[in-house]
Structure 1
């Protein structure tokens, strides 16, 4: 019983404690809630205050922005108003100017009408005077016919017959004088132009041959170039088409070939092989192929540099290659590219002196010998002037240039003034001392043959080949050859030379006939 009572009391105590604790927690919660409300109210009040401040700031900023935009807009409006005012002013000025011009035109039209009326009155007056003069003229003719007993047509015929012979003789004398003066002036001007052209062109002497010397560091390299049983040298000769001569010349071997391009390919290939040290047939063929491509590139570069130096534009790529190949060609010992450049400069200067197109003349001068660099052996039989003209036509050159190329050795008829200029400049470049090299024996023999051709004609007393074989002077006996016969003899000798002989350029034939009267005073 006591235990039960104690348990009940303990339970009651626990319940009472629990109830008291709950009441105490409820009081604390009330206080917390009140504090939270107060804090929330304070936060709301502060947020409201901040919001009002931000609102005021934004309104202030919006007002400032509005004022700025308004000021800018006013500036734009003022600028536009100013421009409109200026435009209106210009318009008013134009209107006033047009009004003054219209008034001026009106006055001028009025003056023109007055002048037209004056001219019409004067024309009527002149017509009346003309009719009066015609009547007087007819009456005078009638009076003269009565006095002379001849009609007007008969008197006119007699007067014309009397004046015809006098006029004819005067006209012939005047014509002869004019022709002589024209010839003299033309010769002087031609000499002046040619001399000025030659003086203004700087030249260089050029000599080409068929042999190149390849220098070696030592004679030991010769054995490696020859190879076992000569296989290396045979492979090199087969790949390049160049004859390689290995003799007792110390530290050198000789490359022989008429084609300068092939000779240069062989020289460069040998240089690469010797520098690399690996010399065998497969390597030789590889190096030769690479060198051929290098030479082709170099040929194009040389052609481009040449046309740039001369100021020539729009040349076809194939013609540029042909110009580049000229560097490795020679004609009578004269480098073909140097010769063509020289001819181009001479043509440009001479054409400028004569008032012709210097650019076209330069173009024709540069291309005049492209027929000497054929790409195939089948074209060798065609004269180089005709072949060059065909190439120029094929690659779109103008007719003036094509005619100058084809006619510079008289293969075809000259149709423009550029053609004789190219022919003359080609002769000047080739005839310059030191420009071309010939074998002495063949040169002397050609001069002898020229003189022998002249001696085969009757009446020839002496014959001299001068100007390096470009002129033949023939002295004839005056008793056997007349003046007319001398002109005929000059033509016959030139035709004989043209038919029977082979020579570069042209040969001028001059026949000299003179009569001498000699007496001795004792």
Structure 2
């Protein structure tokens, strides 16, 4: 009995467990069906959305196709109209050309007819004239030619005399007007270099650190940068950099300003600050070269030439900044060429390059002589081989332009280099542009106030130079030209021969060097004028 009850209970429990399991499966199945129904709804919505989008895109494509077809039809009509119009225009042109050709042919026939008539009349007139004068026909022709030749010669003499008189009366006035007008059109500021080379030191401790123990730091600094550093000249807290080379002075000043901010000053710190200063100045040089080319609007300037021009920012002459001076000469040359109708491009380019050698002359020729290695670094090996240390800046400019072949056009390059080379009279003037560059250089450099000296000091310097020249034995006249950069001595030709002239030039140059205080270089030219006259008798 117990076993039966147990069996029944087991059966019941089994049925309950089966029911629970089937119920759980049914519940899971319902959830799956519900999830599938949800997914089906989402899919249906997405399908409807895709269908709607496809319908809209198809409609858009259809509308666009219709629009494009309409535009195509309109374009076809337009092109067809243009073709018809062009055909009609061509037909009219051909008709007009035919009419013009016919007219020209008729005119040519008329001209030939008139020429024939003129020849016939000439022949008749010559025969009549020969008959009346009882001369041969050729003799009559020669007599007429001789008569007209005499008449033209008389008119030529009269007109040349009149032109010469007008030129002598008006040339000086016209030249002044041109120069005045040119300077009025120029709008840049003063070209005097205003770079300050003094540095303010915060305190004595930093000054002492710059000098270093037993002067080692300042000695290393001066040797590395090839400058002199002056203390206490303008006050106890002022350091001034001294050198004949503005680039070296600027580099030294920038290096010192960087050193002041250093906690420790020693040769390693000097080297580090020097490299930083050099990098800064190199960027400025590159920028100033590109700026000049941009302002002057010169095309196809090689980067190495614009970089040389940028070096002018750190080059001066008589206190005048060469970057500004060269800009002035280029602009003045352009304006003068424009005023007198000379070749504008040659004058402009020659003014641009006329002082290019000054960008490197102080670096490649030092007190120790010609530095070929520096010439290779700043220029190139080909130019360095052609230099020897004895050339002036104009010679260096000429060699650079010829070697680097700027401008590219050979004829333009030859005339440009010649015009630039003329500005210190190394070669005779041949073309108007040669005179223009010389004049532009004189306007920029020679006018009082353009350079860093007062008008009174300028006049005193010129007067002293001429007085020194006049006191030389057997010198009749002395003239200071080119703002005191050249002294011309005219000697007595009756007492001085050609062999004496070299001695006079050398002794005068030595006397100037020992006696006068002057910036830059002065050239001494000794001139001996010999005039020969002869008379011939005229039989009347």
TM-score, normalising length: structure 2: 0.63
2:135 corresponding residue in structure 1? 150
- CA displacement at 1:463 relative to structure 2: 7.2
1:165 corresponding residue in structure 2? 150
Q: Give the paired residue count.
A: 470
- CA displacement at 1:303 relative to structure 2: 2.2
Matches within 5 A, 1:345-494: 345-351=331-337, 353=339, 356-357=344-345, 360-361=349-350, 363-364=352-353, 367=356, 369-370=358-359, 372-376=361-365, 377-378=369-370, 380-398=389-407, 399=413, 402-412=417-427, 418-434=433-449, 435=451, 437=453, 444-452=463-471, 456-457=475-476
- CA displacement at 1:409 relative to structure 2: 0.9
Distance 1:74 1:218 in 2: 85
- CA displacement at 1:203 relative to structure 2: 1.8
Distance 1:208 1:40 in 2: 98
Distance 2:339 2:302 in 1: 28
- CA displacement at 1:77 relative to structure 2: 2.7
1:194 aligns with 2:179: yes
Is the contact made by 2:488 and 2:525 (CA closer than 8 Å) also made in structure 1? Answer: no
Matches within 5 A, 1:5-154: 14=1, 17-19=2-4, 22=7, 66=51, 69-70=54-55, 72-99=57-84, 101-103=86-88, 105-106=90-91, 109=94, 113=98, 138=123, 142-154=127-139
Distance 1:270 1:39 in 2: 92
- Residues 413, 92 of structure 1: CA spacing in aligned structure 2 closer, same or farther, 3 A cutoff? same
- CA displacement at 1:157 relative to structure 2: 1.9
- Residues 353, 203 of structure 1: CA spacing in aligned structure 2 closer, same or farther, 3 A cutoff? farther
1:306 corresponding residue in structure 2? 288
Is the contact made by 1:367 and 1:405 (CA closer than 8 Å) also made in structure 2? Answer: no
Distance 2:91 2:78 in 1: 20
Deviates more, 1:155-164 or 1:408-417: 408-417
1:331 aligns with 2:320: no
Q: Which has the larger radius of gyration?
A: 1
- CA displacement at 1:413 relative to structure 2: 5.0
- CA displacement at 1:170 relative to structure 2: 0.9
- Residues 213, 100 of structure 1: CA spacing in aligned structure 2 closer, same or farther, 3 A cutoff? closer
Distance 1:261 1:110 in 2: 75
1:297 corresponding residue in structure 2? 279
2:190 to 203, 221, 234: 203
Deviates more, 1:31-40 or 1:290-299: 31-40
Per-residue Cα deviation, 1:128-181 (whole angstroms, up to 9, x for no partner) = 776677666655654554444334322222222233322211111112323444
- Aligned to 1:374, the other structure's residue is in SS state helix
User: Structure 2: which 5+ residue stretches go unaligned?
Assistant: 371-387, 408-412, 510-520, 530-540
- Aligned to 1:203, the other structure's residue is in SS state coil
- Residues 83, 169 of structure 1: CA spacing in aligned structure 2 closer, same or farther, 3 A cutoff? same
Per-residue Cα deviation, 1:347-385 (whole angstroms, up to 9, x for no partner) = 454455456137625522563633543334315432222
Distance 2:55 2:113 in 1: 86
- Aligned to 1:373, the other structure's residue is in SS state helix
Per-residue Cα deviation, 1:284-309 (whole angstroms, up to 9, x for no partner) = x3344234324433432342343344
Distance 1:46 1:268 in 2: 84
- Residues 206, 191 of structure 1: CA spacing in aligned structure 2 closer, same or farther, 3 A cutoff? same
Matches within 5 A, 1:201-240: 201-203=188-190, 205-206=192-193, 234-240=219-225
Is the contact made by 2:251 and 2:281 (CA closer than 8 Å) also made in structure 1? Answer: no
Distance 1:263 1:463 in 2: 37
Per-residue Cα deviation, 1:67-115 (whole angstroms, up to 9, x for no partner) = 6634542442343234223323432443355345435644664565566
Distance 1:115 1:250 in 2: 92
Distance 1:52 1:332 in 2: 99
Distance 1:181 1:22 in 2: 153
Per-residue Cα deviation, 1:218-274 (whole angstroms, up to 9, x for no partner) = 778877776666656655554454456678996267765444455555556666666
1:178 aligns with 2:197: no
Distance 1:36 1:167 in 2: 140
Distance 1:148 1:439 in 2: 77
- CA displacement at 1:20 relative to structure 2: 6.1
Could you say what the CA RMSD is over the residues aligned between the two structures, in angstroms? Answer: 5.6
- CA displacement at 1:205 relative to structure 2: 4.2
Is the contact made by 1:207 and 1:436 (CA closer than 8 Å) also made in structure 2? Answer: no
- Aligned to 2:190, the other structure's residue is in SS state coil
TM-score, normalising length: structure 1: 0.65
Is the contact made by 1:404 and 1:418 (CA closer than 8 Å) also made in structure 2? Answer: yes
